[in-house]
Structure 1
Amino acid sequence: MTGPTGFDTALAAAVGGGGREHDVDAAASVLAASGADGDAAAARAAARIVRESAARGWTVPDLVRMTGRELTPRHQRLAEAVLPEGRGPAAFAAAERLDRFSAAAAFVEVLCLCARLPRLPDLPRAQAVAAAGDRPASKMLGRIRALLAKAESTGFPEEAEALSAKAQQLMAAHSIDEALLGDAGGTGGYGPGARRIGVDRPYEGAKALLLDAVAAANRCEAVWASEFGFSTVVGHAADLDAVELLYTSLLVQADRALHRGRSRSRDYRESFLIAYAAEIRERLAAAAATEVAARPDEALLPALAARDLAVRRTRERLFPTTSTTRLKGRDSEGWQAGRTTARTADL
């Protein structure tokens, strides 16, 4: 059976069969033979699967990331082209110069993968202590982003260090101000939330370790879901923003240093990143302690303790059972290079 109805039936069979090759080929054959009507039916199917995935906790960026993780770069490009707006594969086939069947098969494989993803826990949304109209929080984050972008792009280490140090200072001050405002005005309605941050291959264990270090320094807790390529970070709104911004910046700096290194072996790169994360953890913890010590307000420590407790309880509610993963560096040269790079990384 061909046509839109035939494709829906064939796609359901492919999803129900776990994406078996002959089911995928059957659905792709129906789609390829259906022409423009089939592409419209494919677009409706894509939109439906995106909606169903959202109901299970998966955003479109999550789906695109998982497609690249589990399938191929071409599948990921296809997901980027069709999933955000619920489109069929015809335009993608033309752009990639694919025959109809090949494009249809890749499309069916993407939809099968998305449809089989399990339900994720619902995440609470963190709220800022004051509304955006009450204080310039968005302007503060804009300044932090601009400083980190300049620090990543400049070719002068002294300038990069000054820019990133200022960004870190603004992050810490913004977080402390949030804590004091929340303590003064009560914490009702302004508790911690959670955010999923992608942890991409390769060396995802070491990258998750770096994210955990950044999260801990910013009074957050991170739980890594290795099978899905992301960590869930639990914390208050200002702290979650700081974690995402700083983690991204430190990854850029680490990647730049890795490309300057002499060795290209996997053990070297993984050892580099593990050591880099360990050293960054120490530097960030020291910087956070210094910023707190510089504030004379007697209400600060109780306010921070209350926020820490709220974060821990939220993490325990979302993830009552967790396990510990240990990573081991196997290349001494990579380990030393990672520690050295972290000591000069711009925070």
Structure 2
Amino acid sequence: MSIRRFLPLILLLAAAGAHAQFTSAPSLQPSQLAIVINDAEPNSVKIGEYYRKRRGIPEANVVHVSIPNKPHEISAERFEVLKEEIDSHLGPEIQAVLMVWTAPYKVECNSITGAYTLGFDASQCVKTCASGRSSSYFNSSSTRPFTDLKLRLSMLLPTESVADAKALIDRGASAGFRIAPATAYYMVTSEKARNSRSGFFPPPGRIEARRLSTKTIQGDVLEGAQDVMIYQTGMAQVAKLDTLRFLPGALADHLTSLGGDLLGEGQMSSLRWLEAGATASYGSVSEPCNYWQKFPNPTVLLKHYVQGNSAIEAYWKSVAWPTQGLFIGEPLAAPYRKRPR
């Protein structure tokens, strides 16, 4: 796919930011989200129950499974058994699933979220740098993905620290009570191979209806910003995160090979974004090469988030080929949702 295909969308967003009043789309509701708790992991049990109560998730939406020993990766066969176990408890009203654990996060070369929502793709593992399978949810207007497209969105809520997970949940739950002045930051870095989506960065400007500015910065580091709602960059390691203030509901990710290898020791894990204060993030679990289609498209992500979609909806809508990509964080955060009158 070429950048030209998305130029109308980029120009439309620029015009909307300057002149239009956005109409909020309905976001995913707690009654439409299932929680999957790993009974073999005490942190999963504690955090899952905290999340259920904090978000008002119906008890009937909770699914219990057992995955001992926190494996980073599971086989396709083990995954199919797990998926069938989860799905057997879900009714047609469930549009998305939150898995409350850090690991497993990988099904062979697929992310566990990619495999769950789209189905395991063995062909991607023959050559992980090959093009990916397209998602019918990419840039979709659907507000009910399972009803409309037979896709249940999925995300991981990490459980390495109960305190950190509770803080993450609280950030997501507090997003949307009021619209705060904020900025979406886009970095064009010196790591040129990782700038493959820079052509999709929204033009600098301001979306007045959302009190949100967009800024593109030529540089490797964002330092000292205190109003971060979106931060997207292309670096294997992202410095100065401890100097930033992420607002409730903030989304942040880096285009690199193995950000979704959450507990790996190579490139920066996407967990670092959540630890720094972001509410949701994304990273690939196997070498994807630098196809922009395998990472969140900045314009599409911004468009759907400011229209009121939740974090899980906006992130999933922004990735054209999500098989290798892992979605993590608090799924219901929606800082720009329509407020009840």
User: Shorter-chain TM-score category?
Assistant: under 0.3
Structure with greater proportional helix content: 1
Q: TM-score, normalised by structure 1?
A: 0.23
Task: Give the number of the structure whose alpha-carbon radius of gyration is greater.
Answer: 1
Q: Which is bigger in relative contact order (C-alpha 8 A, separation at least 6)? A: 2
TM (norm. structure 2) is 0.23
